Structure 1
């Protein structure tokens, strides 16, 4: 593992020892039931959740290097004493990779138990939102765009964080991959024109909301965002009829705009051609 990522993992693990299970990326799922657990069960869940998080980092490392992933390596290097929980750990890691990074883990060789990570999104999206290590951030962006879309094309800051909390992403906590999540959402992605972040009119005390930025409108669409959300939930876009109809209308409007733009370009080119022809015929 590269020293930078390995040192991050070590530092995170030391800090993580003092945290509760509900503070872990997978902890939100464990806490959802709201049931009190015996101490032994709680400790077991906590240990498994830590293993899930470490496995996520390991799988991302393999993804960066474009190396194959084997069950043997996962058991030897990561899961170790939790071998009997292999399928549970892998399932939780897969869910997190889907929601946050837009990555899907596939078993390509059932006999030798070889796995690969596949980007659910187009390669253009992967390129536009990857850091220098090649870890895609498009899953996070598409999730936020999806929240905005499904909340009527404008989502309050609270609504966005509510969904991110379910994914185990919390405001005010440094994420091992994304770093300062609040800065990423309210500054970095805003400066890159993927999101707009503004104060809600007449709010006192002031509260804020997110909208799609101009670059999001240019580089993706409501249909593509809905397709991503549908893939994450193992369904199809038409399973969400209201949003699907809106996405279809958006596709139609985009198609009409493209036709109109081509017509304007053609008219301008024709006008220039006539002007050039006229200047040559009348020296």
Structure 2
């Protein structure tokens, strides 16, 4: 194979290899998309830069060789100059590689694995109805991550709230003992079906939010559009929420957290979801708005169209609670 074609072929191989490494980086970093607070380097940019440098270096080397062959200097002189050029290139590479650590910040070791381990431990203890201890959480993560425990605990508790709708509460500040408290009183700690699956409270809170934002009733089509964005599909079993259609049209309806009814005068027939009586009793429109604002990292003012309604609902609830309290006092 001619030398020029060899160089081009070699450059293509290096670019292809770099592209493979870039894809590996993307695959390895894919879970980081779940955590907005986790800042990782952009692997595609690294891949392109590496590939471009490899190709340009090969191209410049090829040009040097061509100039060396076309000169009329004796071969010994040409070889000496080539050696000097090679040495100078090596020195430049060494100096640049030595300067790299001081000018380029290396990414911090990902905490994703440690967060998952802590979450798994907390969920196990929650299911067993046993206290969650800081000392035990420190044992499930590697020693290198223990100095970042407060950040790991913060991320794990946020994920538990977003996914499962449960809050981490400190029970004993001396022993550093915690417990998980569901935002609503779904049976079996939110699992719905005893001994099966994971808590469904987080999904329910999201559904209540969609219904409220849509004017206190949401069509079935709207609900499935929302669920599809969460990678939850009709007729496809989800690894956390099980069979979603049964869950939202039967289980949560039977438990009176949702109402599922035909839209009046709809032709062809269509159905809609409303809050059930237990949702009205166990949470409020304001709490649902606060939940949506927190998990989406936006202020409550972003829901201004519904904030006034939620505020009015809070005032009505406070009035009812005051009446009940006065009635109870008079009776006693």
* Structure 2 length-normalised TM: 0.49
Q: What is the rounded CA distance, in whole Å, between the counterparts of 2:183 and 2:289 in structure 1?
A: 12
Question: Hey, what does 2:238 align to over in structure 1?
Answer: 175
Contact kept in structure 2, 1:99 and 1:143, CA below 8 Å: no
Contact kept in structure 2, 1:200 and 1:209, CA below 8 Å: yes
Contact kept in structure 2, 1:126 and 1:137, CA below 8 Å: no
Cα deviation for residue 218 of structure 1 reads 2.2
The Cα RMSD (Å) is 4.8
Cα 1:259–1:94 change in 2 (3 A) is closer
Say which of 129, 137, 140 aligns to 2:190.
Answer: 129
Q: Report SS of the residue matched to 1:197.
A: strand
1:91-144, Cα deviation, whole Å (9 max, x unpaired): 98766533221245799xxxxxx996744737x568773444595432221111
Question: Hey, what does 2:286 align to over in structure 1?
Answer: 223
Contact kept in structure 1, 2:182 and 2:190, CA below 8 Å: no
Say which of 136, 140, 162 aligns to 1:73.
Answer: 140
Q: Report SS of the residue matched to 2:264.
A: coil
Cα deviation for residue 251 of structure 1 reads 1.9
Contact kept in structure 2, 1:126 and 1:138, CA below 8 Å: no
Q: Report SS of the residue matched to 2:274.
A: strand
Cα 1:239–1:126 change in 2 (3 A) is farther
Contact kept in structure 2, 1:146 and 1:229, CA below 8 Å: yes
Contact kept in structure 2, 1:199 and 1:209, CA below 8 Å: yes
1:149 matched to 2:212: yes
Q: What is the rounded CA distance, in whole Å, between the counterparts of 2:124 and 2:203 in structure 1?
A: 18
Q: Which of structures 1 and 2 has the larger relative contact order (alpha carbons within 8 angstroms, sep 6+)?
A: 1
Cα 1:266–1:171 change in 2 (3 A) is same
1:205-227, Cα deviation, whole Å (9 max, x unpaired): 43321100122122222122223
Q: Report SS of the residue matched to 1:70.
A: helix
Q: What is the rounded CA distance, in whole Å, between the counterparts of 1:90 and 1:254 in structure 2?
A: 34
Structure 1: 5+ residue stretches without partners: 1-37, 77-88, 108-113, 270-283
Structure 2: 5+ residue stretches without partners: 1-21, 35-111, 144-151, 171-175
Contact kept in structure 2, 1:171 and 1:181, CA below 8 Å: yes
Cα 1:106–1:247 change in 2 (3 A) is closer
Q: Report SS of the residue matched to 2:261.
A: strand
User: What are the within-5 Å matches in structure 2 for residues 54-69 of structure 1?
Assistant: 57=120, 59-64=122-127, 65-68=130-133
Which is greater in Rg? 2
